[in-house]
């Protein structure tokens, strides 16, 4: 209660009273209307767009915040929040609607922190990934809603078990010196996933997202990859074992950022469970295959965590204001983490950006790539790193950089075209394996 009291004081002193916010549940039409109202209130910094449709034909609408909506600005990172993946876990949906209203209101009021965030970040908010499931859950309401009612989409498919399973491939490659990023999708993958999943995967591939969070309910904890255990599942036994990514330290930092900025998540005891510091590795909690957060990390440049935000999956409307006060600072603080680490351009000798150039960090077995214009963003903790940029047809280039705790350090690369002799030697080696600088690091 003391923590909540301090949040209430901060609410009045820093941001002002939340009189313009909308503390109610939103059906599909109400949600769309709320998003359009934000766009009407802040037309110069917002854009509403659809990434596709649900099985029943409802648009999956995204609300974008930027000082140049609809445009990727060089060296400006892309961020996303996704809510309501499980239709009956509704708090994330309502929090993202409130967060959108809040960003607009505070920008109009001249809040310097929010203004800087919108000017320096391209923010994408998808309040509901599963609008069909929500309509089923919403028809029951918070009082009579079953634990699984409306969880899946209208074809009774759990969307967080519906992404292509890239973990098994990754775990094989770890033992056989294979690729460590942007793993390929299986043949006919588009026919193997649901409409909502297909829309989100295409969205991920069209935007060079750097950081993301997926909002769920049913527990209170910040969950980070990997979700799927490296150990084989024993028949009839749910295996739990810590499965770290190559970026385990930064993922822990990201999870702690949300947990400690949240009103009570960091306390650990919630919903009858205890999570130290309010965070957990996904597989250490329970192993999950074909989930969205692992897919983000293994197929795109994006780092995503899963936020479990409420014991009650469908809290009553009168609980929404308390939940908003508990999550508001965390939603802002987590978003700000997109500016950690390093960023820069990879140019050719004519100062043209090189797309799909690979950025490798010595000692971290996970690479990222440049976007279509040649810019890159690599989340890193403070420290000194050796960074290598490489691209097909060019000589690789390495540089050492020291990263601080604040804004991302800019580090640009200028690659020279590989000589014909170098290219011929590479081809004659007869190997398609990519050599990573970090492979030489001690284990």
Identify whether 308 is a catalytic site residue. Answer: yes
Residue that the structure tokens 């193997």 belong to: 192
C-alpha distances (whole Å) from 127 to each of 157, 240, 420 are 19, 31, 51
SS3 annotation, the chain: CHHHHHHHHHHHHHHCCCCCCCCCCCCHHHHHHHHHHHHHHCCCCEEEEEEEECCCCCEEEEEEECCCCCCCCCCCCEEEEEECCCCCCCHHHHHHHHHHHHHHHHHHCCCHHHHHHHHHCEEEEECCCCHHHHHHHHHHHHHHCCCCCCCCCCCCCCHHHCCCCCHHHHHHHHHHCCCCCCCCCCCCHHHHCCHHHHHHHHHHHHCCEEEEEEEECCEEEEEECCCCCCCCCCCCCCCCCCCCCCCHHHHHHHHHHHHHHCCCHHHCEECCEECHHHEEEHHHHCCCCCCHHHHHHHHCCCEEEEEEEECCCCCCHHHHHHHHHHHHHHHHHHHHHHHCCEEEEEECCCCCECCCCEEEECCEEEEEECCCCCEEEECCCCEEEEEEEECCCECCEEEEEEECCCCCEECCEECCECCHHHHHHHHHCCCCCCCCHHHHCCC
Torsions phi, psi for 39 (to 5 deg) = -60, -40
Q: How many CA atoms lie within 13 A of 238 on its CB side?
A: 9
Torsions phi, psi for 287 (to 5 deg) = -75, 135
**Which residues have CB under 8 Å from 37's CB, separation 6+?**
none
End-to-end Cα, the chain, rounded Å: 46
Annotated catalytic residue: which of 78, 135, 196, 308? 308
Torsions phi, psi for 410 (to 5 deg) = -85, 130
C-alpha distances (whole Å) from 443 to each of 246, 385, 439 are 12, 16, 9
Report, as residue numbers or ranges, the catalytic residues.
308
């Amino acid at each position: 209660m003391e923590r909540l009291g301090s949040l209430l004081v901060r609410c009045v002193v820093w941001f002002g009273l939340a009189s313009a916010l909308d503390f109610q549940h939103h059906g599909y039409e109400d949600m769309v209307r709320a998003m359009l109202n934000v766009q009407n209130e802040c037309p110069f910094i917002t854009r509403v767009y659809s990434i596709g449709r649900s099985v029943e034909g409802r648009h999956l609408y995204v609300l974008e915040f930027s000082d140049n909506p609809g445009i990727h600005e060089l060296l400006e990172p892309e961020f996303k929040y996704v809510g309501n993946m499980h239709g009956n876990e509704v708090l994330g949906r309502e929090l993202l609607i409130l967060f959108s209203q809040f960003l607009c209101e505070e920008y109009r009021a001249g809040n310097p922190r929010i203004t800087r965030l919108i000017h320096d970040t391209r923010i994408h908010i998808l309040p509901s990934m599963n609008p069909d499931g929500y309509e089923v859950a919403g028809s029951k309401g918070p009082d009579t809603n079953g634990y699984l009612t409306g969880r899946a989409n209208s074809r009774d498919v759990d969307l967080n078990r519906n992404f292509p399973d890239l973990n098994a491939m990754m775990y094989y490659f770890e033992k056989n010196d294979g690729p460590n990023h942007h793993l390929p999708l299986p043949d006919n993958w588009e026919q193997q996933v649901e409409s909502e999943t297909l829309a989100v995967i295409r969205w991920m591939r069209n935007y060079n997202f750097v950081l993301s969070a997926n909002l769920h309910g049913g527990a209170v904890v910040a969950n980070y990859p990997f979700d799927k255990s490296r150990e084989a599942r024993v028949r009839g036994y749910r295996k739990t074992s810590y499965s770290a990514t190559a970026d385990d330290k930064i993922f822990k930092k990201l999870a702690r950022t949300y947990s400690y900025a949240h009103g009570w998540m960091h306390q650990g005891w919630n919903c009858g469970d205890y999570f130290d510091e309010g965070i957990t590795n996904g597989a250490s909690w329970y192993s999950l295959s074909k989930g969205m957060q692992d897919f983000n990390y293994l197929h795109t440049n994006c780092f995503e965590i899963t936020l479990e935000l409420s014991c009650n999956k469908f809290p009553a409307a009168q609980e929404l204001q308390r939940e908003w006060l508990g999550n508001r600072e965390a939603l802002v603080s987590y978003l700000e983490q997109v500016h950690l680490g390093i960023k820069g351009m990879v140019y050719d000798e004519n100062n043209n950006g090189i797309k799909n150039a690979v950025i490798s960090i010595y000692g971290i077995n996970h690479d990222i790539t440049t976007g279509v214009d040649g810019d890159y963003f690599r989340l890193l903790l403070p420290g000194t790193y050796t960074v290598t940029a490489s691209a097909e047809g060019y000589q690789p280039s390495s540089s050492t950089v020291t990263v601080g705790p604040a804004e991302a350090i800019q580090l640009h690369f200028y690659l020279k075209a590989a000589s014909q002799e170098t290219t011929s030697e590479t081809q004659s080696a007869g190997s398609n394996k990519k050599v990573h600088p970090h492979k030489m690091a001690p284990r």
